[in-house]
Structure 1
Amino acid sequence: MADGDSSYSQQLPCVFSPKSQQYLAVCAQDGRLRIWNTDSKTLHQEYVPSAHLSATCTCIHWGPCRTVKEGPQRKKRKSEAGHVEEKADLLAMGTVAGTVLIYSTAKGALHCTLDGGHSGGVNCVHWHPEDCLLYSGSDDSHIVEWDLQTGKTRSKWKADRAAVTSLCVSPDGKLLLSAGQTIKMWDLDSKEVYRKFTGHSSAVTTLRFATTRPPDSSGLYFLSGAVHNRLLSVWQVREDGKDKNSVVSFTLTDEPRHIDLVTSRSKDQAVRLAVVCKDGQLHLFEHFLNGPCKKPLSPSCTVQMSDTKDSPMPIPLLAAALNAESRAVTLAYGNYLQPVIEKVDIQTADRHICLTRNVQTTLSLSIASTLSKVKTPITNSKSKVLIPGLPGHQAPVTGTSVATEKRKKDSDSKEVSIAERLGEIDLQSTASTKKESKGTPSLKTDNFAVLLVQGLESHDNDILNKVFQTRKEMVINNTVSRLPLPAVLPLVEQITKRLQGHPFSAVLMVRWLRAVLMHHTSYLSSLPDVVSQLGVLYHIIESRVKMFHKLTKLHGKLYLLVSQVATNNSTNKVSDVDHTAKLVYEEESSDEDEASGDERLLDEDSDNWEEEEVMEDDGKEGIDQGDEDIDNRTDSKENGEEKMEHDNESEEE
């Protein structure tokens, strides 16, 4: 459960959860956090930080086990009330940007982000065993004490002249070990140096307390490991203060990468130690810490892994965790993309153990396998295949170039430097056209292949940028096909790096990647470590494919919203109708209008006269005269109507 330090080694952070070893946390090269379940051997959770490309993870450390509320649960019985199960929940991750991310496995999401404490990349993180405190060491040579309840720094102090590369808190929570090249022990109450130790000649990557005894009894021991050092040193904290040199050392086959131990609580109990080295071997130690030991101690048992092929190849071990109660060891081996987790009972009576396992190093992709009628060729078992790039292949691989013969003929001419040659080449123009004059130099794909190899060997970004700017499919395919085989992997690394940049450059890099897969897939598949070489590229493609499905759903929703807004705007425009008359027709004769007006008045008057006649019985002269006038008017009305009807009939005819 030691912290992997990627800034001083190429190993990825890989650590088991405390106590039950239920989870294995692995941080990939592209910044993804993957948590594997050791019981079911499956991927439990996957988390991609928002700044995983610019602020990759450098170290991870599990927090102390605690009781976690995971939603509604059944009501417990009285017999189960006193028993509360504690699980590993919080996981701290230090990043290159100087921030610390706290991830919760119960929530399956980010718990909080600790920012503003460091001005450099975080190299190590370590939890306090009891309180909600976290300690982090950085390249800025400072140690920061974080309070997780508030998410802010509680204290900060300078620990060393150089970067702080490793931290460890004592089991009682009173002392803190920090190391760059020298090791210092701090009193956490006063934040002052309690003891100083000589340390190592290189950067210390591992610090672990080996005993739980108080420091005043001369029984407190801790061990340390460093880069490029094949020894684990054990230090004793003595009462008299004469503890500058190590008292015990353990010999290893390579520098330590992952360390787990079972602490000693008394002098009668031995310390059990499991160390995974850089070469992929596991070394087991068991020793009683009781004073100095002059002779370096060799491991009691060494474990190696290999496959079951005719010519077995070693399988690297990634991490190991000891069980405090039994002799079982939990192993993680294979590759970081899909590690294999297994619990093994190892008998320490044998000094060297080799475990053979059938591990498929290919990625677990769901590909529909179809039957084919192609016969597999029968090969001789004694034949040996030599591949460029593998040990045993002595013939140098050179790219075929047509221009070499021409240069031999024109040996008297002056050589042209790379800068002048780059100045003459216009990558925007076509590769070769028929309309060019005979005197002007034409651009050929030979020059692209030569320039690309020179740019890959010298890591010159100017040359690579000018070569990668071409958009011609034919030029790209011919250039990639003429590349020598040793330049294929550096080209894939450059393509992977540029795919993570600007989207416009990624569009160009996809064409180059497609050309590489078309021409050099057979060579890439023959490499033994192709999974580790193409791991980052696989992660990028996988994340882009997952994002593509989300973008298509978003595109459909946005299209629906835009179409609805367009229809609403069109209906609003139709509802606004102009009620003003577009055409007004006026008749020429005004006599009919006057007659129609008289008719309306006469109708109203006639109604009134009829009512008066019904109400009054007496006849008067004025009334009789009014009746005569009405009769005359009605006669004229009838004459007028007849006249209008005749006029209408004449018009219709």
Structure 2
Amino acid sequence: MATGGVRELHPPPCAFSPRGRELLALSGPDGRIQVWDTRGGGLKREYVPSAHLSATCTCLAWAQGRTDKESPQKKKRKSEAVDGDKPYDLLSIGTATGSILLYSIIKGELQSKLVGGHDRRVNCIRWHQDNGHLYSCSEDKHIVEWNAQTCKVKCKWKGDAVSVSCLCISPDGKMLLSAGRTIKLWDLETKEIYRQFTGHSTAVTSLMFMTVRPSQGSQPLHDPTGLYFLSGAVHDRLISVWQIRSEKKEKSAVLSFTLTETPVSIDLTPSESKEEPLKLAVVCRDGQLHLIEHVLNGNYKKPLMPTCTVQIATSGSDGGSTPKPIPILAASFCPDRQSLLLLYGSTMQPVIEKVVLKTNEPHICLIRDIQKTLTLRKDMPVTKVKTPVVTSDVQVLVPGIPGHSAAIKSAPSVALKPDGKRKPGDKEASIADRLGAMDIDMAKVESKGGLPQTDSFAVLLVQGLESSDANILNKVFQTKKDSLIKNTVSRLPVYAVIPLVHELTKRLQGHPYSALLMVRWLKAVFVLHASYLSTLPDLVPQLGMLYQLMESRVKTLQKLSRLHGKLYLLITQVAASEKSQDLTDLNQKAKLVYEEESSEEESDEEMIAERESDDNWEEEEGETENKEDETSEEEESEEEPDMNVDKVNGDSDLDPGNESEEE
């Protein structure tokens, strides 16, 4: 079975139906899902999702079975009664936007859609074999357990620090393997990590259990100890085989197989006993198939080589051309465990062939002619729009509705050889005859200065929206003419209105100059397509982001206008005051100096201290203390002017005795 993985590494997703391998689901590059009958029945179903351009298919998986409640409903139709014995008729489709589609092969219609679990690309989908639950992993680092009956999320948990790229369920249904940069073994009941394995330097894209148990069989059924599983990673030419041991310590890989390129598709036939060899079919990125037969009986330090390598090439007999290789896209073992189903060629015209290979030869090259052996052909689609071939008497006035083919003008017949060359003697048609056959009026061409344009801004805009081409969108959105914007928007088909609004909303959050141009486009859309927008039931969630963006911009504009007004008022007042006052002629001298009394007393004390130092007046320590007490008392009491006068006059004849009396 093909495993899901990274887009730049893997071909378009494909998956064989389990057990019988009767059906093959294949996703093309355009998002179409094709279901082929591997027994030679051709194309059985083709499904085109409504959002196949924006939400392309990323992975495919078949349901493991149908419930008994749905079996009576299958008897209502004869076509369903024929296929009623097939338990695998439900195909799950993972998309790039995070949604999962469930498509019924028997009914040929979309049965349900699982949304709300992932918000980014779905990398892998696995069905539980017992309870019918669905497990999916995504680039949003989470693993989701779905209830397929109610189409709701049952459990969601974080699987890794990076994108979770692959999943695999154990044979007993009790454990789950998940892989990002590391491989983790989860207990599905408790959602706890049971083991961790580290051995790849890049993201793991392939996981598969090998139902090999020890020969003693002492372990219970729910204990995964002794199980083996294999893993392959991006840009890694090795497939590692791991054993889930009873020790809790992290162990390295038991053995590994070397390949020529990165593996893109892996299938195996598990060994029923320990002595029976395990068979692997690995398709690599270079289009080669490697067959491996090995008995898991011990550890190997050196990588093992494949038993057989298979290639497909053309015969090269036509015209003496050299043989060209034909890439193998996928391979799967048939129920007889001896033959293989090979898918090779291209996704548009695939070839499915059942072959029996002898692994005793190291290299096998199968010679195939694609044109002759192509047995699975797709019928031409039936359409109601016919393209008429008109004669010279009929004149076509308009090219037709955009998206439909215009009438084909009958060209002058020129006899050609089967190889496309003219016969000798035939005259080559002149340029005037060719232009006449194209019905181009040369006078109008000369007056307008060039050939008439077959495209317009409306066609370019639709192409840019469908392909998400930034160059085309930038070219269209750079126009500033209101009349051209209105004409372009008025010619848009209705299905392109909502994608245009989403693109304009995204560009509104960019540069202010770009936002100024986008407002003109939004105005034209709401004026010209208001009737269509009003009929949409989900208009509010579709325009919710745009409304919130405009609301926040309006609120911010009001606050900015207030701030601008205040700043403008302050700046004008400062400018006016600077003009009225000449700042250079300011007088730096103070006109009035005010001094407090305490400052005068301190200055007088400093003068007395200077005089006493000049007279070399010495006093005893006790007298000095008395004078300091007296001085402090004089400062505290302002009702004794005589003592202040004596102190100012420098009267120092008072002896300590008199000072004590005064005190």
Normalising by structure 1, report the TM-score: 0.56
1:501-557 C-alpha deviation (Å, 9 max, x unpaired): 949999xxxxxxxxxxxxxxxxxxxxxxxxxxxxxxxxxxxxxxxxxxxxxxxxxxx
Equivalent position of 2:197 in the other structure: 197
* Partner SS for 1:249: strand
Letter in structure 2 aligned against 1:230: R
* 2:75 pairs with one of 71, 77, 96: 71
CA distance in structure 2 between the aligned counterparts of 1:9 and 1:278, rounded to whole angstroms: 7
* 1:359 pairs with one of 345, 370, 378: 370
Q: Does 1:288 align with 2:295?
A: yes
Instruction: Assess, with a 3 A threshold, how the Cα gap between structure 1 residues 237 and 243 changes in structure 2: closer, same or farther.
Output: farther
Letter in structure 2 aligned against 1:322: F
Contact 1:216 1:239 in 2 (8 A): no
Instruction: Assess, with a 3 A threshold, how the Cα gap between structure 1 residues 115 and 466 changes in structure 2: closer, same or farther.
Output: closer
Matches within 5 A, 1:276-425: 276-310=283-317, 311-360=322-371, 374-376=416-418
Letter in structure 1 aligned against 2:352: I
CA distance in structure 1 between the aligned counterparts of 2:336 and 2:229, rounded to whole angstroms: 22
Instruction: Assess, with a 3 A threshold, how the Cα gap between structure 1 residues 72 and 365 changes in structure 2: closer, same or farther.
Output: closer
Instruction: Assess, with a 3 A threshold, how the Cα gap between structure 1 residues 293 and 51 changes in structure 2: closer, same or farther.
Output: same
Matches within 5 A, 1:22-421: 22-66=22-66, 69=71, 70-72=74-76, 85-213=85-213, 218-310=225-317, 311-360=322-371, 374-376=416-418
Equivalent position of 1:556 in the other structure: none
Instruction: Assess, with a 3 A threshold, how the Cα gap between structure 1 residues 504 and 295 changes in structure 2: closer, same or farther.
Output: closer
* Higher alpha-carbon deviation: 167-176 or 85-94: 85-94
Contact 2:10 2:285 in 1 (8 A): no
State the Cα distance separating 1:32 from its structure 2 match.
Answer: 1.5
CA distance in structure 1 between the aligned counterparts of 2:495 and 2:202, rounded to whole angstroms: 34
Instruction: Assess, with a 3 A threshold, how the Cα gap between structure 1 residues 65 and 500 changes in structure 2: closer, same or farther.
Output: farther
State the Cα distance separating 1:7 from its structure 2 match.
Answer: 3.3
Letter in structure 2 aligned against 1:334: G
* Higher alpha-carbon deviation: 313-322 or 2-11: 2-11
Instruction: Assess, with a 3 A threshold, how the Cα gap between structure 1 residues 343 and 239 changes in structure 2: closer, same or farther.
Output: same
Contact 1:6 1:13 in 2 (8 A): no
Contact 1:31 1:56 in 2 (8 A): yes
Letter in structure 1 aligned against 2:75: G
1:234-264 C-alpha deviation (Å, 9 max, x unpaired): 1111112344311111111111111111122
Equivalent position of 2:438 in the other structure: none
Equivalent position of 1:16 in the other structure: 16
Contact 2:137 2:167 in 1 (8 A): yes
Instruction: Assess, with a 3 A threshold, how the Cα gap between structure 1 residues 201 and 156 changes in structure 2: closer, same or farther.
Output: same
CA distance in structure 2 between the aligned counterparts of 1:309 and 1:499, rounded to whole angstroms: 49
Contact 1:98 1:121 in 2 (8 A): yes
State the Cα distance separating 1:212 from its structure 2 match.
Answer: 4.7
Equivalent position of 1:492 in the other structure: none
Matches within 5 A, 1:462-501: 465=476
Equivalent position of 1:483 in the other structure: none
Instruction: Assess, with a 3 A threshold, how the Cα gap between structure 1 residues 57 and 372 changes in structure 2: closer, same or farther.
Output: same
State the Cα distance separating 1:137 from its structure 2 match.
Answer: 0.4
CA distance in structure 1 between the aligned counterparts of 2:313 and 2:164, rounded to whole angstroms: 37
Instruction: Assess, with a 3 A threshold, how the Cα gap between structure 1 residues 373 and 320 changes in structure 2: closer, same or farther.
Output: same
Instruction: Assess, with a 3 A threshold, how the Cα gap between structure 1 residues 56 and 331 changes in structure 2: closer, same or farther.
Output: same
State the Cα distance separating 1:500 from its structure 2 match.
Answer: 13
Equivalent position of 1:545 in the other structure: none
Letter in structure 1 aligned against 2:239: L
Instruction: Assess, with a 3 A threshold, how the Cα gap between structure 1 residues 376 and 178 changes in structure 2: closer, same or farther.
Output: same
1:438-471 C-alpha deviation (Å, 9 max, x unpaired): xxxx99x9xxxxxx9xx9xx974577548999xx
State the Cα distance separating 1:5 from its structure 2 match.
Answer: 2.5
Contact 1:41 1:340 in 2 (8 A): no
State the Cα distance separating 1:124 from its structure 2 match.
Answer: 0.8
State the Cα distance separating 1:87 from its structure 2 match.
Answer: 2.9
Contact 1:7 1:123 in 2 (8 A): no
Instruction: Assess, with a 3 A threshold, how the Cα gap between structure 1 residues 32 and 251 changes in structure 2: closer, same or farther.
Output: same
Letter in structure 1 aligned against 2:264: R
CA distance in structure 2 between the aligned counterparts of 1:206 and 1:130, rounded to whole angstroms: 23
Instruction: Assess, with a 3 A threshold, how the Cα gap between structure 1 residues 505 and 85 changes in structure 2: closer, same or farther.
Output: closer
Contact 1:332 1:340 in 2 (8 A): yes
Instruction: Assess, with a 3 A threshold, how the Cα gap between structure 1 residues 143 and 326 changes in structure 2: closer, same or farther.
Output: closer
* Partner SS for 2:325: coil
State the Cα distance separating 1:112 from its structure 2 match.
Answer: 1.4
Letter in structure 2 aligned against 1:255: T
Contact 1:100 1:114 in 2 (8 A): yes
- What are structure 2's unaligned runs of at least 5 residues? 79-83, 214-220, 382-412, 422-443, 454-459, 481-491, 501-663
- What are structure 1's unaligned runs of at least 5 residues? 75-83, 380-430, 437-441, 446-451, 470-497, 507-653
Matches within 5 A, 1:606-621: none
Matches within 5 A, 1:616-631: none
State the Cα distance separating 1:434 from its structure 2 match.
Answer: 8.2
State the Cα distance separating 1:348 from its structure 2 match.
Answer: 0.6
Contact 1:300 1:351 in 2 (8 A): yes
Letter in structure 2 aligned against 1:337: M
1:551-601 C-alpha deviation (Å, 9 max, x unpaired): xxxxxxxxxxxxxxxxxxxxxxxxxxxxxxxxxxxxxxxxxxxxxxxxxxx
Instruction: Assess, with a 3 A threshold, how the Cα gap between structure 1 residues 254 and 209 changes in structure 2: closer, same or farther.
Output: same
CA distance in structure 1 between the aligned counterparts of 2:156 and 2:326, rounded to whole angstroms: 43
Instruction: Assess, with a 3 A threshold, how the Cα gap between structure 1 residues 201 and 501 changes in structure 2: closer, same or farther.
Output: farther
State the Cα distance separating 1:265 from its structure 2 match.
Answer: 3.3
Instruction: Assess, with a 3 A threshold, how the Cα gap between structure 1 residues 468 and 40 changes in structure 2: closer, same or farther.
Output: farther
Matches within 5 A, 1:538-577: none
State the Cα distance separating 1:147 from its structure 2 match.
Answer: 0.9
Contact 1:172 1:212 in 2 (8 A): no
Letter in structure 1 aligned against 2:417: K
Instruction: Assess, with a 3 A threshold, how the Cα gap between structure 1 residues 286 and 366 changes in structure 2: closer, same or farther.
Output: same
Letter in structure 2 aligned against 1:351: P
* Partner SS for 2:306: coil
Instruction: Assess, with a 3 A threshold, how the Cα gap between structure 1 residues 246 and 463 changes in structure 2: closer, same or farther.
Output: same
State the Cα distance separating 1:338 from its structure 2 match.
Answer: 1.9
Instruction: Assess, with a 3 A threshold, how the Cα gap between structure 1 residues 351 and 375 changes in structure 2: closer, same or farther.
Output: same
State the Cα distance separating 1:117 from its structure 2 match.
Answer: 1.1
CA distance in structure 2 between the aligned counterparts of 1:150 and 1:366, rounded to whole angstroms: 38
State the Cα distance separating 1:309 from its structure 2 match.
Answer: 2.3
State the Cα distance separating 1:114 from its structure 2 match.
Answer: 1.0
Contact 2:282 2:290 in 1 (8 A): yes
State the Cα distance separating 1:54 from its structure 2 match.
Answer: 1.7
CA distance in structure 2 between the aligned counterparts of 1:183 and 1:284, rounded to whole angstroms: 25
CA distance in structure 1 between the aligned counterparts of 2:448 and 2:418, rounded to whole angstroms: 50
CA distance in structure 2 between the aligned counterparts of 1:465 and 1:284, rounded to whole angstroms: 53
Contact 1:236 1:243 in 2 (8 A): no
State the Cα distance separating 1:6 from its structure 2 match.
Answer: 4.8
Contact 2:138 2:163 in 1 (8 A): yes
CA distance in structure 1 between the aligned counterparts of 2:89 and 2:303, rounded to whole angstroms: 39
Contact 1:23 1:37 in 2 (8 A): yes
* Partner SS for 2:371: coil
Letter in structure 2 aligned against 1:104: S
Instruction: Assess, with a 3 A threshold, how the Cα gap between structure 1 residues 468 and 364 changes in structure 2: closer, same or farther.
Output: farther
* Partner SS for 2:326: coil
Instruction: Assess, with a 3 A threshold, how the Cα gap between structure 1 residues 465 and 315 changes in structure 2: closer, same or farther.
Output: farther
State the Cα distance separating 1:376 from its structure 2 match.
Answer: 4.9
